[in-house]
A and B are shown apart, each in its own frame.
Chain A
Amino acid sequence: MSTCVGIDLGTTHSALSWLKADAEKGRGPGQAVLPVPQLTAPGTVEPKLLLPSFLYLAAPQEFPEGSLALPWKSVATQITGEFARSHGAKVPTRLVSSAKSWLTHPTVDRRAAVLPWQAPDDVQKISPVDASARYLEHLRHAWDKAFGATQKLAEQSVVLTVPASFDAAARDLTLEAAQKAGLPQVTLLEEPQAALYAWLEAAGDDWRRSLKPDDVLLVIDVGGGTSDFSLIGVTQKDGDLSLERLAVGDHILLGGDNMDLALAYALAEKLKAAGKSLDAWQLNALTHAARAAKEQLFSTPKADKLPVTVPGRGSSLIGGTIKTELTADELGTLLTQGFFPRVEVGEAPVQQRRSGLGQVSLPWAQDAAITRHLGAFLSRQAQSLSLRTRFARPTAVLFNGGVFKATALKNRVLEVINGWLQADGAAPARVLEGSDLDLAVARGAAYYGWVKAGHGIRIRGGTARSYYVGVESSMPAVPGFVPPVKALCVAPFGMEEGTQADVPAQEFGLVVGEATRFRFFSSSTRRGDAVGTMLDDAERTEGLEELPAIETTLSGKAGALVPVSLQAAVTELGALELRCVERQGSGAWKLELNVREP
């Protein structure tokens, strides 16, 4: 283990960074990132710093023989990276995208081959776990190609990042994907923490001058597909500063890609009004063009409009080109106003009533207003942290994610937060500058590996949720009345890695030898519940969310009810395990908090 490697397995992009384990100090701002060889066209392999997290399942004969080869693989039918993304846009039924978001899907079996979602039968589908494994495998090969002669990636200290909002099941599936990719030993780290580590490393010893005791740091990470918030507190202990992760937000499927789509749809409407309709291919081209115009318009504040052109699909370029323009007003209305409106801090995000029948798809956020999600998060956490204020007041903000390359959007978010602070008579929050918005997570993850080896400063955290197991109430049957399910706290908020907790003085009967169903709950706000706390009605308790249930058959004599005690453990890798230990005897059963068995 001579090298600390950080891997950002992103919804839309992945990256890898590293740092020598025996380095005397952090890398400062020059944090190495591995160029990843990937197909950019048939027959063309190019190294790029980002590996787009897209997987294309090619049909036989679709490309010339051997043209999909990579330096480590001569025959391939599955494409990862840049070419998968660009070609997949034209063949959506064979493109796997956002596999990471499917890892958190509440009702889909995440180990079943379901992606691409609703692809025709002859496409060899793949599970969300396997798709994630493919991206990691690609990175492993790229690393081994570069350094494998002396140090294989599987033998290094690898840190893999997950959204702070990932629940225990999604974290476990991420570890499983790593294992399938040939990386059996990886440690998980939350992305907003990784972004902060990258900032800490880049700042060097100066960070102590930028942060003060009692600072509350808000990390806002808006990536391509998800938005993730974390609060990190700065405290002083024995004269030295320490960092503690206080809270994380819920999983919000809303990101930069939604913004580009919003622009493209608005421009398509404008073209439609002018009598020009676009097909799917042109809409995709329009999305690219709109993104380019957006970036240019945001970076030249004086320009009031920019031409947007969509090339004709056929070889006639001039004759087929469709012209329109994006104005600064439209950009302001659609993006700044649409995604970052000035809202009150306590406003709840809009939840549209779903129709009785809905198509199964990713649970996209229904309210596009990121500031509203943010305000709701800060308000919820004020209660949870027992603050006397109406929302948790950040004193400093760290931005992460490509969306914030647009300074205008960064400024808008800051303006909204400072508006909330000002209304309460609090001082405005300051911005922590100086980390790379695209690569910070991978870099910070590598740095964390180094910190774990005993250097630098560590952010303390533990689990960002408390976990509960459902226990059936025993009561006489009453017609028309379903007895409520009680929730027993098995893992409290803030349980640290490498620790375990015994549920005190309770004995349970565990059904073995036949199919049984376990229900699980978690909460991101109930931090007062200690291990063993019993909540009377899980479904009516505020702040409690149900996780996918487990249906399983535990080995044993059919129909037997074995007296057990419960024990929860958070592994060094950051996964949560629940064990049932037989009271009189040697039996032990592990309940994996992940997916239902097929």
Chain B
Amino acid sequence: MSFFDRLKLALSILFGGNLPAPEQKALPPPVEKPIAPPAPPSPAQAHASGLFLLGLLQREGRLLDFLKEDVSGFADGDVGAAARLVHEGCRKVLSQYVTIAPVEAKAEGAPMEVAAGFDSNRVRLVGNVTGAGPWKGSLKHHGWVATAVTLPPVPTTVDLTVLAPAEVELP
């Protein structure tokens, strides 16, 4: 194989076997300037509502302070006292903005039948999953579903990556 033949082969592999015709190579068609596609949103923009919720949980319930602190050095009583604060504040946020209900109204542990063609968003089968249903089993976790979300609109005038501003006290 000559050098050019080998080059042709390499290129044909690269271009999926359709090597551009030599004349096209000599005179490439005028490239139309494509309209610049919108820049993909930055992760912070794409997840603005998530960051906003984190900020809310920190503001009302000090959740980030709690999670970022190394708990290993503290006694259970101290962790418990702080947990109460976090629990109270975050619970307030939750009850204010998201209505949460169990997916299944049955008591946990109760026998439950799952019909064929069930909504696999709402129910997950675990254990010995065979056959085409209906299945008989027992409810282990009743699940949670948000039945209403009343979060305020995500702010556009503040930097949401700042989950809590630094606080400087002036004497």
List residues of chain A with CB under 8 Å of any chain B CB. 40-46, 64-67, 69, 281, 292, 307, 309, 311, 315-319, 321, 323
Neighbour of A318 across the interface among B71, B159, B169, CB < 8 A: B71
Task: Contact check, A318 vs B69: say whether CB atoms are below 8 A apart.
Answer: yes
| Chain B interface bracket (under 10, 10 to 19, 20 to 34, 35 or more) | 20 to 34
Q: Label chain B's interface by main secondary structure.
A: helix
In the assembled complex, the CB of B161 is this many whole angstroms from the nearest CB of chain A, namely: 13
Given A307-B84, A316-B65, also A321-B158 (CB < 8 A): no
Task: Contact check, B155 vs A43: say whether CB atoms are below 8 A apart.
Answer: yes
In the assembled complex, the CB of A358 is this many whole angstroms from the nearest CB of chain B, namely: 28
Task: Contact check, A319 vs B69: say whether CB atoms are below 8 A apart.
Answer: yes
Given A317-B62, A318-B74, also A323-B81 (CB < 8 A): yes
Neighbour of A42 across the interface among B66, B78, B155, CB < 8 A: B155
Residues of A within 8 A of B81 (CB): 307, 309, 318, 321, 323
Residues of A within 8 A of B157 (CB): 42-43, 64-67, 69
Task: Contact check, A43 vs B66: say whether CB atoms are below 8 A apart.
Answer: no
Q: Could you mark each residue 61-101 of chain B with 1 if its beta carbon is under 8 Å from any beta carbon of chain A, else 0? A: 01001101101001000110110111010000000000000
Task: Contact check, B65 vs A309: say whether CB atoms are below 8 A apart.
Answer: no
Give the docked Cα–Cα distance between A323 and B81 (Å). Answer: 7
Which residue on A lies nearest to B165, using beta carbons?
A: A42
Task: Contact check, B78 vs A321: say whether CB atoms are below 8 A apart.
Answer: yes
Q: Could you write out 22 A-B pairs with CB less than 8 Å apart?
A: A41-B155, A45-B152, A67-B158, A69-B157, A281-B169, A292-B88, A309-B81, A309-B82, A311-B85, A315-B69, A317-B66, A317-B82, A317-B85, A318-B69, A318-B71, A318-B74, A318-B78, A318-B81, A318-B82, A321-B78, A321-B81, A321-B82
Give the docked Cα–Cα distance between A40 and B151 (Å). Answer: 12
Given A317-B65, A317-B69, A318-B74, also A41-B85 (CB < 8 A): no
Give the docked Cα–Cα distance between A112 and B78 (Å). Answer: 51
Q: Is B142 interfacial (CB 8 A cutoff)?
A: no
Q: Is B156 interfacial (CB 8 A cutoff)?
A: yes
Interface hub of A45, A65, A69, A318 (most chain B Cβ within 10 A): A318
Given A67-B157, A309-B81, also A319-B74 (CB < 8 A): yes
Given A40-B152, A311-B62, also A64-B84 (CB < 8 A): no
Task: Contact check, B84 vs A309: say whether CB atoms are below 8 A apart.
Answer: yes
Give the docked Cα–Cα distance between A43 and B56 (Å). Answer: 12
Give the docked Cα–Cα distance between A41 and B158 (Å). Answer: 10
In the assembled complex, the CB of B21 is this many whole angstroms from the nearest CB of chain A, namely: 57
Give the docked Cα–Cα distance between A11 and B163 (Å). Answer: 33
Residues of A within 8 A of B153 (CB): 45
Residues of B within 8 A of A309 (CB): 81-82, 84-85
Residues of A within 8 A of B159 (CB): 64
Interface hub of B78, B156, B157, B159 (most chain A Cβ within 10 A): B157
Q: Other than A311-B85, A317-B82, give 11 A-B pairs with Cβ distance below 8 A.
A: A41-B155, A42-B155, A43-B157, A66-B157, A67-B155, A292-B88, A318-B69, A318-B71, A318-B78, A318-B79, A319-B74
Which residue on A lies nearest to B160, using beta carbons?
A: A43
In the assembled complex, the CB of B167 is this many whole angstroms from the nearest CB of chain A, namely: 8
Residues of A within 8 A of B59 (CB): 41
Residues of A within 8 A of B74 (CB): 318-319
In the assembled complex, the CB of A393 is this many whole angstroms from the nearest CB of chain B, namely: 44
